[in-house]
Amino acid sequence: MKMKELKAMGSEERKKKISELKLELVKSRVDASKTGGARVKEVRKAIARILTLEKMNPSKAKPKEVKLSERKISKDKS
């Protein structure tokens, strides 16, 4: 799965794809234990690409909560 394809998908589509890939990862691990396939590595990379893309677009995610002690309060001295 290429990055262009992932960018074209919506956020909900990517979440569905992650769940599908996780299921495929489990199946691939079982097959790899029997036959020694390399599909596990490909699936893991695809999941990582999607998660990376989600992190690169923080505006669509929930805003980070800021603790009161971490806020910087500026005082105007006039």
Domain extent at residue 50: 3-58
Cβ count within 10 A of residue 28 = 19
Check residue 47 and give its pLDDT: 94
First to last CA, the chain: 58
Residues 15, 57, 64, CA angle at the centre, nearest 5°?
Answer: 95
Number of domains within the chain = 1
Flag whether 78 is in a domain.
no
Length, in residues, of the chain = 78
Flag whether 74 is in a domain.
no
> How much is the pTM?
0.66
Q: What is the tens place of the pLDDT at every residue in 3-19?
A: 888 888 888 899 999 99
Check residue 26 and give its pLDDT: 92
Flag whether 63 is in a domain.
no
Flag whether 10 is in a domain.
yes
Q: What is the tens place of the pLDDT at every residue in 19-65?
A: 999 999 999 998 888 887 788 999 999 999 999 998 887 655 455 56
Q: Please state, in angstroms and rounded to a whole number, the distance separating the CA atoms of residues 38 and 15.
A: 24
Q: What is the CATH number of the domain that holds 54?
A: 1.10.287
Flag whether 8 is in a domain.
yes
Cα 63 from chain centroid? 16
